Structure 1
């Protein structure tokens, strides 16, 4: 499927500072970027720090006063196998080296705190069946609600509050999967059919010898996700990291099937 994606952001910077932008569609095996344009107004010199391994498109620039960032792209999402049922989880010794880091606890996903819960609740299951059960548990025990969490909330906070937004759902799913010895990582994506439109936090799990996308909120179809970035948790996939202070003036995202 082909999608037209747009992002339009305006920020006011209190002082001159550097900005790391992770807003562009990634070059990945499951999607192809056919056309794109990134415009920063007023014109600013940028440095590209793209990652040849992950396909992430990274831009760094120095901002001051009011800056508008506009991004448009046409992206083709290729066929994805999102099946979980019966998918085997690889023994640790057989995992690719790049997957090992996604077994470890991280700042927002303290998976070591969930090991007893996961064993008690899902211990009789394995692989994709265990991941599906984890997602079903989250669906049955969580309320999608803004304002419950903040930028400091972890999966443990979400587990206690039983409410949050996509970032919180993703962190909890990642923590529970890692506690089950299944590699899991955070993914930021433009999401078709997401209401209201926004960059969406979802999850990839390593099963059956490959990474598989899942949406713990079930608010967007997997074949309508245009990936931007991947990482241990939200700290790695933020679409904008400001090394200073700034105020949001306006922000809008759009995804349309073409």
Structure 2
């Protein structure tokens, strides 16, 4: 599927402020960037970073005053497969070294606190993929998608108690339960088709059968309509903007639409 993505962010900075931004589509094997543009007004000197394994891209800059950041991309994400119930769970000795950190507890997903619950609730289900699908069913059945009940410091533990939250809360709890089942899981920020209202979306991936599978614990957007941005242990690693000092978001517009299949042929 080809997707046209636009993000326009306007921020106010009281003084020169160092920022790290992750809003560009990742150059990952499951998606091809056919064309893109990034503009910052007023102009700023950028330091560009590319992660060699995940293909995620970030830029660093010093910004001040009112700044508009605009990113647009045409991305082909091919035929992204939904998670298969038959996907096999690996023994830890089989896992690639770079996957191992995603077995461990993290700040917002303290999976060690969920070991007893996850083992009791899901370990009777055979197969790694089937277990994760059961976790997703559990989240859908027991959590309500509600704005305002969580904040930037809400952890998976809080969400488990409150049984409500937004996409990052669903993701943190899903990651915690998955790691408690001894399956690697990592957070993903993405642009998502059909998300209402349009926004940056937090989902997660699980490592089964020799590959990462993208899943949406909120069921608000189809995984085949997502454009991956960044990955990490939890939301602390995938924030679209991290600033040295406090700043004010003055406006934000995200648009994701399906592009014609012949789009980008000349550019390619």
TM over 0.5: yes
Match of 2:36 in 1: 36
User: For residues 83 and 240 of structure 1, what CA distance do their matches in structure 2 show?
Assistant: 30
Match of 1:112 in 2: 112
User: For residues 248 and 57 of structure 2, what CA distance do their matches in structure 1 show?
Assistant: 24
User: For residues 25 and 243 of structure 1, what CA distance do their matches in structure 2 show?
Assistant: 23
User: For residues 74 and 151 of structure 1, what CA distance do their matches in structure 2 show?
Assistant: 31
Match of 1:65 in 2: 65
User: For residues 144 and 61 of structure 2, what CA distance do their matches in structure 1 show?
Assistant: 38
How far apart are residue 52 of structure 1 and its match?
2.2
How far apart are residue 95 of structure 1 and its match?
0.6
Name the SS for the 1:173 alignment partner: helix
Q: Could you tell me which runs of 5 or more consecutive residues in structure 2 were left unpaired when the two chains were aligned.
A: 260-268
User: For residues 82 and 105 of structure 1, what CA distance do their matches in structure 2 show?
Assistant: 26
How far apart are residue 81 of structure 1 and its match?
2.2
User: For residues 131 and 116 of structure 1, what CA distance do their matches in structure 2 show?
Assistant: 16
Name the SS for the 2:27 alignment partner: coil
8 Å Cα contact 1:15/1:245 also seen in 2: no
User: For residues 141 and 49 of structure 2, what CA distance do their matches in structure 1 show?
Assistant: 41
How far apart are residue 87 of structure 1 and its match?
1.3
8 Å Cα contact 1:26/1:229 also seen in 2: yes
Match of 1:209 in 2: 210
8 Å Cα contact 2:188/2:230 also seen in 1: yes
Q: Residues 149-160 of structure 1 correspond to what in structure 2 (within 5 A)?
A: 149-160=150-161
Match of 1:187 in 2: 188
User: For residues 79 and 108 of structure 1, what CA distance do their matches in structure 2 show?
Assistant: 31
User: For residues 136 and 49 of structure 1, what CA distance do their matches in structure 2 show?
Assistant: 37
How far apart are residue 50 of structure 1 and its match?
1.6
Structure-2-length-normalised TM-score: 0.95
User: For residues 237 and 163 of structure 1, what CA distance do their matches in structure 2 show?
Assistant: 21
Name the SS for the 1:49 alignment partner: strand
User: For residues 58 and 153 of structure 2, what CA distance do their matches in structure 1 show?
Assistant: 24
User: For residues 118 and 144 of structure 2, what CA distance do their matches in structure 1 show?
Assistant: 20
Structure-1-length-normalised TM-score: 0.99
Q: Residues 43-192 of structure 1 correspond to what in structure 2 (within 5 A)?
A: 43-125=43-125, 126-192=127-193
1:236 lines up with 2:260 in the alignment: no
User: For residues 253 and 24 of structure 2, what CA distance do their matches in structure 1 show?
Assistant: 15
User: For residues 27 and 123 of structure 2, what CA distance do their matches in structure 1 show?
Assistant: 37
Alignment deviations for residues 150-185 of structure 1 (CA, whole Å, 9 cap, x no partner): 000000000000000000000000000000000000
Q: Could you tell me which runs of 5 or more consecutive residues in structure 1 were left unpaired when the two chains were aligned.
A: none
8 Å Cα contact 2:25/2:228 also seen in 1: yes
CA RMSD of aligned residues (A): 0.7
User: For residues 184 and 83 of structure 1, what CA distance do their matches in structure 2 show?
Assistant: 13
8 Å Cα contact 2:83/2:215 also seen in 1: no
